Structures are given as C-alpha cells and as structure tokens.
Chains A and B, each alone.
Chain A
Amino acid sequence: MKGARFSGLRRFWDEYRQVKSGLIGIGLLVVFILIVLLEPVALPYRQANERWRDINYWQDSPRLALPVWVNWFTSKDYPRSTVISEPKREEVATGTLRVITMEVPYEFTSGHPPSDLYYKLYLTGRASIAFEFIRPDGEKVELRRSTAVDGAQILRLSAIETLQERAYALGAKYEDPNVAKSRNPRMIDTMGVLFGQAARGIFIKPAILDGTYRMRIQVALVNEQSQLNKAEFVVLGGVSGILGTDGDRRDLWCGFIAGTKWALLIGLLTSLISVVVGVVYGVAAGYFGGWIDALMNRIFEVVLSIPLLPILIVMSAVFNPSIWIIIAMMCLFFWVGPVKTVRSMALQIKEHSYIEAAKALGASHRRILFRHMIPQLIPYSFASMALSVPGAILYEASISLIGLGDPTIVSWGQVLRDAFSSGAVLQGIWWWIIPPGVAIALMGMTFAFIGFAMDTILNPKLKTR
C-alpha cells in the first residue's frame, strides 16, 4: 500500500533527473543548505548575528574596505589589516612616574594607504600619552594627550580621528601655498597625506611613500594606581574579508551568511504553509461543489484582488511586526497561488470511478480528500511551492528595503537597505550592492530551476511542438 502511494513520486523523480536545469537547481539548493549548516564555522565574526547593529562590535574593522580578492586584479595592492598585540615595552621609572615606551615598525609597500591605524590602550587611572608617527623620510607627526579617568577604560588613538590637523600641517609644508590655503584642514584625506610623498600635490593626488613607518607611543603613568593593562597596535587595511565591509564597518560576508538562513526560512516556510492551505482549499472547493464551492470561490477572488505589497507595507508600518508576523502576513495572501489549478484538477479527479467506489464503500469526506485526492496533487504542489519561494523572499527584501524589516535579524534586503540609504549607489560602492542582490537572485534562480523543471514534467505538451 505504502509502496503504491509513493511509486508516483519515484516515477516523478526518474523524469526529473532528465532535466538538466532542475539538477542545477537541486545542486544550488544543497549549497545553500550547506552554508546554513556550516554557519558557525563560516562566520569570521562569531556574534555577527546578534550584534549586527552594535557599532562597538565592529569598531575594529575598516570602514568601506574592498574585498580581499580585489588585490588579485589590481597592480597597486591595498594593504591588509594587521594587529600587533602587546608590542615590546620599555619602562623607565622616576619616583611614582613611570614612562612606558612602545615602538612598532610598520613595513609599508602597498599601493594605497591603509584606511586607518590606531593604538588601543587598556588603561586604569591617570596617564598622559604621546603618540608619534615617524615616516621613512624622517618627518614626524605628533600627538599629545593626557587622560584622567577613574577606573578602567579603553583608549583608542586613531590616526584618522586625531591626526588630521597635524597631517594638514605636514602637507602644508610641501604643498603649493595656494592649494594648501584652499583646502579645509578638516576635509583632507588624512591617510593619503600621512602616507604620501612629501612633495607638491600631496593634497591633490599624493604619491605613496614606501618604507618603514614607526609608530611610537609613550604612556606616562602618573601614580601607582595607574596601570597599562594591555596594548594593541592595529592597522585597518583597505581590503577586508571575502566580501569587504560596509559603511558601518560590518563584514559583508557575515551579512551574506547570516542572511542565507533567513532567506531560506522565509521562502520555504511561507511557501510550505501557503501551498498546503491552498491545495486543501482548492481540493475542498472542487470536491464539495455547489454553494460551498461558490462561497470559497468568492473569498478566493477577494483575496486575489488585494495588491500584496502595498498592504504588507502599510501593515508593517502600522504594526512594526517581527519576522514571524511578516511570514504569517505573507501566508495570508500567498495561499491563493495554487487554488485555481488545484480546484480544476480536483474537478477532474472527482469524476473518476474509484472516488465513486470509495463513496459507495462509505468512506468519509476526509478520507476521500486526504487519501485519494490530495496524494495525486503532490507533484503539482511541490512545483507550486518551489515557484512561490522566490516571491516570498522578494517581498521580505522589498519590505526591508523600505525600512520596515524585522530589526532583530540580518537579511539580504536589510543589507541593501543600508547600502541604499547611505548612498552607496551614487558612490559606486559596488561590493556593498552587488553581493546581496546576487544572493537574492541566486536563491530565486535555485527555486525557479526546480519549479520550472517540475512544470515541464507536469505539462509534457509544452516540451516541444
């Protein structure tokens, strides 16, 4: 009995194997599922999911860095990020005053300046700090700062944030005075000047100065309670990770990985629920006929004539729903998809003599519907399910793009939203825009391949003339 019921599926699979695009679809689906399963291993930042919107979590990665592989295609390499933790300390004590000196040599040969560099100091108590940026040509840029905070604190001395005006002073020594005067000291390209050759044009288009840069820092601890617990020197490169970083320093590869599971979940759950509801609804309408059919048809037509996206937008704007509510709202409208076809198929199946035989044997309506009619619609249901997955993903992405997505998850649509709203399109930040869209398209393609493959099997007359 069991074998008989599934022999249809077996035959279906044998036919399915003949369709090449269908197999590609299955292959892609397996890849996506693998990505979801391997997420814990594949995420370079472990807490990317929970802390996607936490600025502090991402502060140690570069802003708008290109993907690492860009270096394979450019003659001028972008520097990579490096962290030197606990540089060698030299300590000189005079009474209660202790001066710790650290110097890190930074061998620099890239074609572009790094996007930032900084010392990160874990301090307790009072300290006064001098930061010196010594260039290969002997020029120095210096910064002094004293800090007095009770208790522990983390101090970041970032070149971009603290050395800008001093970099301007350095550049102004070499640049054409007229050009120098026309520049706003707060608008110059700090890293370009710091790593630029000391010559005219340093403000306009600085040539890169190769060599060993030395970053010296002196921490003067004022009293015995003061401590330097830990020190790190960090260079933020121009490239980072497989897909680069966005304007909020977030690693876009993490965004891709984290978004995969949500896309799959949204697509599969929505299509599963709505196809199950739609198939049962359609079969019931076709089977019962009469006024039940007429009523069910009316309800179906009302739902069908509501434009889905506008109502989703307004409902999201009014109720600020979570992702589960969004999925539920989509199901409310998606179930109409298979109804029409299923109903007409049910009308045909109903006329078969074995249904009549089952009726004559006293089988209940439920038994006839679920044992005799619906199993025959399973192949069609799968095709319909596969074809409604991309729609669900698209709708979630669209809602997210307008800014109404669930803020507790990371979805591809939300990454695109951030890109669009921070003007990535008109700044040409392609690595922020292309990957999430390609991901959505690939996911859609996966299910389109699978669905269309099933469709050709179910409608053999469409194959050739």
Chain B
Amino acid sequence: MYWKYFVRRILYAVMILAITVFVFSALFSTVAEQVLRAQIIEQVNAEALTLARQRTSLDPNAAQVFREYRTQQLIRRHSLDQPMAVRVVKRTLDALTLQLGNSTQIKSAAGETDVMTIIAERIPRTLLLFGVVAVIDIVAGVWLGMRKARQAGKLMDRSTDIVTMIVFGLPTWWLGMLLIMVFAFAIPIFPSGAMHASPPPESSLGYFLDLMYHLVLPVFTLVILGFWGRAYITRNIVLSTLQEDFIMSARARGLSERRILFGHTLRAAAPPIVTMSLLALLGSVGGALIFEGIFSWPGLGNLYWVAVQQNDIPVLMGNLTVTTALYIGGLAFLDLIYGFLDPRVKVGGKA
C-alpha cells in the first residue's frame, strides 16, 4: 500500500510546484520578456557583425533584411509574438523542464551562460553545508531535548528554555558576521569565508581537510543557533508522549525510568521529532540563503547575492524555481519518511 501513498504524494508535489511556477511566470512575465528581447537584439547584432566580417561585399540593405528576418525568427522561436496567456504557459513549461534560459552576466565555472548549468554546479555545495548542519543539529538537539524532558520544570530545563527564547529572533547571518570578526579577524584561526583555500590543495586528502577546515565556522554558527529549537521540539514531543497510556502501563510494570524514556518514549516520539526537526531546518534554509553570502560559501544562497548585485534577472528567477523545487521536494520527502515510519499517516491524513 505504501507505493500508492508514494505516487500520490509525488504527484501532489509536482502539482504544487506547477502551480507555484505558473504564479512566478505570470508575476515576473514583464521583466522576463524585457530581458529576453534585449538578449535577442544582442544576439542578432553579434550575428550580423560576424556576417559582415565574413562577407565584406555584403549589401547594407541585405544586412538590414537579415537582421529583421533573424529578429522575427527568434521572437517567434521564443513565442514572444503569442498572446500573453500562451507566453506564460510556455514559460511555465520551460521552467518545469528546467530550461531556464541564459544569464545576462553570471557565468558558470566553465564559462557557460546556461542558467541551469550555473545553478547545478552550486546545488551540491549547498546540500553539503546543510547536510552536515542537519546531522549535527539533530543529534545535539535530541540529546539536549531528552535531558530537558527528563528534568522538565527543573533548573536545567528552564535555563535552556531561556536560551531558546534568546536565540529565537537572532539572525544567523549576524552571528556569522560576529564569529568571523572574532575567529578570522581578532584571533585569526579560521578562514573568513569561501569553500577552499585558493588555490585548493592538490592531494585529495588535503582537499578534504581543507574543505572541513572551511566548513567549521559556518556549521558551528548554524548549529549553535539551531539546536536549541530542536531541543525544545524534542522536549515537547517527548513530554506529550509521556502522557500516553502505554507509558503509564510501562510505569505500572515497574520498568526503569531510563528504559521508559529511551526504550518506549523515544521510539514512539522519533518520527515526529525527526520530521519536525527536518521541517524546521528546511524552513531555516530561507534564512540560510543570506548566511551563505556572509561566508561567501559558493552555493545557491550566495548565487542570490551575486545575481542581485549584478542584476541578472534570468539567474535570479531560475534560482527561485530551483530553490522552490528543492523545497517542495524536501517537504514531499519528509512526508514520505513520515508515512514510512508512522503507518497511520498514509491511511487518513485528517488533522
């Protein structure tokens, strides 16, 4: 039965993505078309120039005819002569099939202007950073959350609660700036940003160690702010699980408190803890986009900074599409895990 749920959830994600991308396409239709027209004119000019160089005897009239013909051809190819509704639908379909057009300024490492190539080379870097953060964050958060739940209402619980509230509105990127100032300027023991020393070390071990060295400060910043929230969620879920009947029966059977906590409670509470934590992390990806810019970590978030600075609209919109797709994919993935761990979810799904 799980595969039915699986297919349904995936289809649902695709549908939501399609709606979202359609809204984006409609919203940014004017500006996207302006850029596209400018790009067409640029391309035709370049072609005309090459043509003039190849055939010096070319009649200026013929050159003009070529320009007009070629411009019309390109406009037709990009459907710019179609009515508005058709254009928006076509752009939606293009975006969904990841044909994101060409950038105006930014180039990929190999010098290409294809937006998808530019974005694709950055995805693994973002995933690396946040993958590492997610693992450390959840392990530390669950550990602290269990301790808090064991001593709920006691000093340890209350004091860590206060820390949770203090860091609640704290911008991660500001803490990043602060830590760079401390650990890269005042006590220069860590690099101030980027993913590698330049030039990166040759040997693969050196490369790996260098990468780890550059990961320390950003990961530390994100975890030190994030895991309190995870601990708070864990504590609350564990505490509400402790109210359940099967815990009472376990207590009645005289099981040790430790067994009840780690054997029964944590096992029952694990699915919501994991999904809630991942959900919260996914939600914090937004803020973390800014964060990459502070550490000049060359991922998707940093690409927003670069694209805003250089006013590269196609990259900006392509990046938005890809980020949204990753986000929606992440949500679907979480639901699938949850449905796998907790069979009740896939049956009804009524709140």
Contact = CB atoms under 8 A, between A and B. Distances in A.
Nearest to B192: A426
A437 B177 contact: yes
Contacts of A441: 166-167, 169-171, 174
B294 A420 contact: yes
A306 B308 contact: no
A444 B170 contact: yes
Contact of B174 (A343, A430, A437): A437
A91 B286 CA distance: 68
Given A314-B316, A449-B165, A465-B242, A302 B20 contact: yes
Interface string B168-182: 111101110110110
Contact of A305 (B20, B240, B286, B290): B20
A434 B178 CA distance: 7
Contacts, number: 155
Interface of chain A, main secondary structure: helix
A307 B240 contact: no
Interface in B265-298: 285-287, 289-290, 293-294
B16 interface: yes
Interface in B168-215: 168-171, 173-175, 177-178, 180-181, 184-186, 192
Interface stretch (B39-47, B125-133, B320-328): B320-328
B169 A309 contact: no
Contacts of B54: none
B214 to A, nearest CB: 16
B27 interface: yes
Contact of A448 (B165, B178, B351): B165
A403 interface: yes
A301 interface: yes
Contacts of A426: 180-181, 184-185, 192
Contacts of A434: 178
Interface centre among B240, B242, B285, B351 (most CB of A within 10 A): B351
Given A428-B186, A440-B170, A461 B243 contact: yes
Given A310-B324, A317-B311, A465-B152, A433 B181 contact: yes
A409 interface: no
A311 B320 contact: yes
A390 B171 CA distance: 10
A1 interface: no
B36 interface: no
A343 B162 CA distance: 30
B234 interface: no
Nearest to B177: A425
A373 interface: no
Interface centre among B28, B177, B236, B323 (most CB of A within 10 A): B177
A314 B351 contact: no
A78 interface: no
Contacts of B56: none
Contacts of B162: 21
Interface in A395-440: 397-398, 401-404, 416, 419-420, 425-428, 430, 433-434, 436-437, 440
A305 B23 CA distance: 13
A263 B320 CA distance: 27
B308 A310 contact: no
A21 B186 CA distance: 34
Contact of A425 (B20, B153, B185): B185
Contacts of A309: 286-287, 289-290
A351 to B, nearest CB: 15
11 contacts: A307-B324, A309-B286, A310-B323, A313-B289, A313-B304, A318-B313, A416-B177, A428-B186, A436-B174, A440-B174, A465-B242
Q: Which 7 A-B pairs have the closest CB atoms?
A: A444-B169, A390-B169, A309-B286, A448-B168, A437-B174, A464-B153, A448-B165
